[in-house]
Structure 1
C-alpha cells in the first residue's frame, strides 16, 4: 500500500521500486483531505509496467456515479486488466463535514454500484434515489474491458451487500483469521456463487525489539479492534521478525484471503516488505 501519509511526489519512485520486487499489486488509499485516488492511480498505472493497481477505496458520496464511471472507463481503456476499482461508504464522521448524509448508506452504495456497472457496460442508466438522479446517462467511450468493482466495507449488512453486488470485498486493517472467517460468512450469504476476490489490508511492522513493536502496534490494535468489534490481539498486525510477520500473512491466506495488502508502519517501508517477501519465499 502507498499510505495516505506519503507525499504524492513520492509515488513514482515507490512504484518503480515495487515494479522490480516480487509483489503483484499496489493499492492506493483515498481519504478526505489527502491525495485523490484517481490522480494517484493514473500516475501509478503510467509508471508501472506490470502491477495491478487497486483504488481502495473511493467514498461514493464524494462523486456522482457518472463521474466515477468516466474516470474508471478512461483508466480501464488505457490500462486494460490492471485496474481494480474500490468503492465504499467512506468514514461517516469525515463525510459529515463536507456533504449531506444519505438516508441509507447501504442504498447509496447499492445504487452507485448499479449505476457505475451499467455505465461501464455501455448501458443508458436512469436511476433516482435521495442522493442520485440520473436520466438516460451514458458514456461515449465504453472500455472494452470494464474494471472489476470491489466494495470496501465492514459490518454484516454491508458485507452481505458486497457479496451480492461487487466483484470483490476489501476488508480493513486489523482483520485476523477469526474475523476473516466471520466476515466471509456474511459475504457468502449475500453472494450467488460467482467468483469474488477477498482482499485484506494488514499493517506490517518488522522490527527486532519486542517492546518497540508492542508500543507502536498498541494504538493500531485498539483502533481496529473497535472497528471490527473484536477483542484486541497482537495478530491484528504482522509484526516482529520477518518470519513471524510472514506467518501472519500465510494464516490469512489459509483462512480464505486471496490478496493480502501490506501497510507498513515505522521506518523503511519497502525494506520491511522485502524482508517479508524473503521470509515467504517469494
Structure 2
C-alpha cells in the first residue's frame, strides 16, 4: 500500500508545527515530513517535537545536509529518536544545496564521495558497530554509540542525478526524490537506484522510495502550483503537480506509486493559505482514495 505524507514547510514559523502535527495525526495521515533547509529550521529539533506531540504519526526529515553535520552527531541524534519513538522515525541525508554549503564553509569538492562515506559510517554506527574510518571526508577513530537503536533502522538518502541515485541503491536503505520528477522521471530514477542495488548485491533487502509532489486544492490551486514550479526553474506543463479535488490528487499520487513510489509526500506551496486545512484534506479525503 502506498503511504501518504505532507510536508511541513519551514517557510512557516516553528510555532505552527504543533497544530500541523496534531492535525496530521488526527486526520489519519501516514507521515509528516520536515526539511532542514538553510537557514530556516532544524530537522532534528522539529522532528523530536512532532513525534512527542503525536501518537501514531511517522515523522520524516528529508533531508539532513551531510556537509553541515558531523556523522557521529547525526548518528547520536538519530539513535536517540529511534530509541524514544521506535518505528516512527524516518531520516534521510543528502548533499545539501551547494550554495548554502558554501555560505557556511562546508562545501566539499566531491559531494558523492562524502555521501558514500557518510552513509556507510552512519549505517554502521546505528547498527551498534564500533567504527574506524579514514575516508576523504569522514574520519572516525573507534567510535561506537552507547545507546544505538534496539533494531538497526533504515538510513535514507536523497538524490536526483544519476550518480547519486545509483549511490543510494548501493549505500542507503531507501531513496528520497524531490518534486522535480513526473511519473516517467521517477520510473527512470528507480531504475538507476536498482542499478546501484545490483552493483552492491543488495537486492534482497527492501528499498523504499519516497517522492515529493507539488500539490494544492481549492481556489487558485493550479496557478499557485504553476508559479511554484516556475520559481524552481521547471516547466509547469511537465506533469509535476497534483492539483484539484481529492480524486484528482489521488490519481496523481497513484501514478507516482505505479512509477515506483512507496511513499508520496504532498508538498504544499509556500503560499498555501491554510496549511492545517490542507493536512486535514490530505488525511481525511485523499488518503482513503489512495489506500482504498
TM-score, normalization: structure 1? Answer: 0.91
The separation in 2 between residues aligned to 1:120 and 1:160, in whole angstroms, is 22
- Residue 253 (structure 2) pairs with residue 242 (structure 1): no
Contact 2:68–2:106 (8 Å) recurs in 1 = no
TM-score, normalization: structure 2? Answer: 0.88
Picking from 178, 190, 195, the partner of 2:196 is 190
Residue of structure 2 equivalent to 1:123: 129
Over 3 Å counting, the alpha-carbon distance change for 1:217 and 1:127 in structure 2 is: same
The separation in 2 between residues aligned to 1:156 and 1:234, in whole angstroms, is 20
- Residue 5 (structure 2) pairs with residue 5 (structure 1): no
The separation in 2 between residues aligned to 1:198 and 1:43, in whole angstroms, is 25
Residue of structure 1 equivalent to 2:181: 175
Residue of structure 1 equivalent to 2:161: 155
Secondary structure at the aligned position of 1:96 is classed as: helix
Residue of structure 2 equivalent to 1:217: 225
- Residue 260 (structure 2) pairs with residue 252 (structure 1): no
Unaligned residue ranges in structure 2 (runs of 5+): 1-6
Unaligned residue ranges in structure 1 (runs of 5+): none
Secondary structure at the aligned position of 1:170 is classed as: strand
Residue of structure 1 equivalent to 2:4: none
- Residue 183 (structure 2) pairs with residue 166 (structure 1): no
Secondary structure at the aligned position of 1:281 is classed as: helix
CA offsets per residue over residues 71-100 of structure 1, 9 Å max, x none?
011111111111111100010011111024
CA offsets per residue over residues 239-277 of structure 1, 9 Å max, x none?
133322221112111221110111122211232344454
RMSD: 1.8
Q: How far is 1:11 from its partner?
A: 1.2
Q: How far is 1:102 from its partner?
A: 1.9
Residue of structure 2 equivalent to 1:66: 72
Q: How far is 1:171 from its partner?
A: 0.6
Bigger RCO of structures 1 and 2 (CA < 8 A, at least 6 apart): 2
The separation in 2 between residues aligned to 1:79 and 1:161, in whole angstroms, is 28
Residue of structure 1 equivalent to 2:60: 54
Contact 2:93–2:157 (8 Å) recurs in 1 = yes
Contact 1:28–1:40 (8 Å) recurs in 2 = yes
Picking from 35, 38, 42, the partner of 1:32 is 38
Q: How far is 1:179 from its partner?
A: 0.8
Residue of structure 2 equivalent to 1:261: 265
Q: How far is 1:128 from its partner?
A: 1.8
Secondary structure at the aligned position of 1:20 is classed as: helix
Secondary structure at the aligned position of 1:233 is classed as: helix
The separation in 2 between residues aligned to 1:224 and 1:186, in whole angstroms, is 24
The separation in 2 between residues aligned to 1:223 and 1:126, in whole angstroms, is 43
The separation in 1 between residues aligned to 2:190 and 2:228, in whole angstroms, is 23
The separation in 2 between residues aligned to 1:26 and 1:100, in whole angstroms, is 28
Over 3 Å counting, the alpha-carbon distance change for 1:9 and 1:201 in structure 2 is: same
Aligned length: 275
